[in-house]
Chain A
């Protein structure tokens, strides 16, 4: 059963896109790869968010580095000032390396916990660094919904648009699992993407519907490339946006999916 009455509320226009995957360090590279398999000749091993001072850039946890990098790229793509945008940060697990550090240190020498690592361990760390770095006093949130995290983040962004916000930033990312935690929680590499979503204006129009059932389409090139990362759940939408596809289906919970129709791919989607 679809929730027909709410179909018009679950919509948004894509005004800007940011992207990072290992080997595909921006949206142009991801789009080219999705269209014809082209890979960049070289790619940096780690995102380098220009929002942070150089010393902070090196010290930033991977989750923060990738989130800030893609968020800034999406705002640049949309030509919208970052400080004007409320934001939704969606991550399945938060920073898995920091969780491993916290648990390992607590098991061995609890009073040795680093205060910086502790405040970076909050799920909204990337959201905090983003609002501080951009001087943004608008609302920001940080959510998780396991393998439905991206769909629920997209729904929340659309709800903000439906209740009066003209534009919103959605950022999704996950990191690699490590240490003992990695024996039960599996995620590889660094993956992030951001969308500037607007109520109206130019760009691909997303119209989503919540449906019963959890059947997904076969993964596209980006979905296969980064399949081992926990945020690969978002890639059906980015594969469709990259290749001019008309539909993407996302996991939206244990029993449900979010079917996203995409109308009017951007002119620059076909270079």
Chain B
């Protein structure tokens, strides 16, 4: 595929707002997880909660989209020059020629949950949503895309991708197709997911939530820690010979195996990684850093470790950063793409937080300690329910 320039990128997670907060916490190995304090009856687990969302209402012109998820989208949008970069591209191409493709798993279902909890019967005896939540747009998956379309003024194709935990990796692939085909000249991609009862109690029902901080690729790991996050990247067709950060390849696949368990041999994961390398036109040995899906569930990590060992040489530095942020679900794709882009930009290759005993399935690629290296290519893996997989390859062209 033709190279696509990354004009701006950003993430806001439990580590803080913007890229500097992410990079500093990764370098200092300071995690963002806390004991679960979310909701009326918190389960005994640890979460990656973004501070201050409760105190950051949307501007009044956007109050129709008011909810925790869109607040986090708005906070993330204000960081790292994303809005200014978009403004410049609108000036260059026009708002019609810029796509908006964003991923989420549960969008603003937290608002629907709250509406059920606060519902009251009216004079006619019929139970209804409270007036402040009787806004149809926040009770549907496209709440996120629709909010961002109005918040940014972009007028190109606007889509919310919701393929569970691969959502905001797949947005890069969908936007890349639109740029390659000439439908648009640039795109705002990203993803936002916020903590809510559905995911906390849902993953708990599946027995996938740890009562401790998650420990990806540790032999004694017993589940994930949930988190929330928002992040974005601004993509534009790269000019020939241009230097800087680029999206170089994507690979998408299906496990064709099970709704909530990975393929035991990592078939879909391998197909996605191979597809991304092939589209980038590079060998596995050229990749300097791979951010793994690495959820810390017993099933995912051993399958993913074996798939990585089957494809990459021992020289690869691969890690999961979910020990820092928690599993941010539909936002994991963008958050961990940002980690890969920071690795290209700063040379910081994060290890794994809180893990101590290597799972026997880990090949030499899985690294618990941080490292520093000047690398040319970095990858990100994101896998979701339904066996939905996406791998991305980012590159750095030096001046």
B240-264 to A contact mask, C-beta < 8 Å, 1/0? 0000000000001111111110000
List residues of chain A with CB under 8 Å of any chain B CB: 1, 3, 5-6, 9-10, 83, 86, 92-94, 99, 102-104, 106-107, 110-111, 113-115, 118-125, 127-129, 131-132, 134-146, 148-149, 152, 155-156, 159-160, 162-163, 180-181, 183-185, 210, 212, 252-256
**C-alpha spacing A137/B385, complex, angstroms:** 14
Does B364 have its Cβ within 8 Å of any Cβ on chain A?
A: no
Instruction: For B196, give the chain A residue with the smallest CB separation.
Output: A106
B181 touches A141 (CB 8 A): no
A106 touches B201 (CB 8 A): yes
Given contacts A103-B113, A111-B204, A122-B385, contact A137 B256 (CB under 8 A): yes
What are 6 sample pairs from A and B whose C-beta atoms fall under 8 A apart? A113-B204, A124-B162, A131-B256, A143-B162, A155-B157, A184-B129
Instruction: For B386, give the chain A residue with the smallest CB separation.
Output: A128
**C-alpha spacing A100/B385, complex, angstroms:** 20
B182 touches A146 (CB 8 A): no
A6 touches B136 (CB 8 A): no
**C-alpha spacing A156/B178, complex, angstroms:** 8
Of residues 171 to 196 in B, which have CB atoms within 8 Å of A's CB atoms?
Answer: 173-174, 177-178, 180-184
B157 touches A122 (CB 8 A): no
Does B387 have its Cβ within 8 Å of any Cβ on chain A?
A: yes
B254 touches A163 (CB 8 A): no
**How many Å from the CB of A253 to the closest CB on chain B?**
6
Given contacts A115-B206, A146-B137, contact A128 B387 (CB under 8 A): yes
B298-334 to A contact mask, C-beta < 8 Å, 1/0? 0000000000000000000000000000000000000
A106 touches B158 (CB 8 A): no
Classify chain B's interface size.
35 or more
Residues of A within 8 A of B117 (CB): 106-107
A180 touches B181 (CB 8 A): no
Residues of A within 8 A of B127 (CB): 180, 183
B205 touches A114 (CB 8 A): yes
List the 7 closest A-B pairs by CB distance, nearest first: A128-B386, A139-B252, A123-B162, A118-B202, A131-B254, A162-B181, A9-B181
B260 touches A110 (CB 8 A): no
Residues of B within 8 A of A255 (CB): 155
Residues of A within 8 A of B347 (CB): none
Residues of A within 8 A of B253 (CB): 137-139
Does B384 have its Cβ within 8 Å of any Cβ on chain A?
A: yes
B388 touches A9 (CB 8 A): no
A94 touches B386 (CB 8 A): no
**C-alpha spacing A118/B208, complex, angstroms:** 12
Instruction: For A91, give the chain B residue with the smallest CB separation.
Output: B141
A181: contacting residue among B112, B170, B260, CB under 8 A: B112
A122-B105, A145-B142 known, 19 other contacts, Cβ within 8 Å: A9-B181, A92-B140, A102-B109, A102-B113, A106-B116, A111-B201, A121-B202, A146-B137, A152-B157, A156-B177, A162-B177, A162-B180, A163-B177, A163-B180, A180-B115, A183-B126, A184-B135, A210-B96, A256-B155
Residues of A within 8 A of B255 (CB): 131-132, 137
A128 touches B388 (CB 8 A): yes
Residues of A within 8 A of B128 (CB): 180, 183
Does B234 have its Cβ within 8 Å of any Cβ on chain A?
A: no
B119-151 to A contact mask, C-beta < 8 Å, 1/0? 100000011110000111101111001100110
Residue among B137, B170, B386 with max Cβ neighbours from chain A (10 Å): B386
**C-alpha spacing A170/B145, complex, angstroms:** 21
B268 touches A137 (CB 8 A): yes
Residues of A within 8 A of B393 (CB): none
**C-alpha spacing A162/B386, complex, angstroms:** 26
Residues of B within 8 A of A131 (CB): 254-256, 386-387
B155 touches A152 (CB 8 A): no
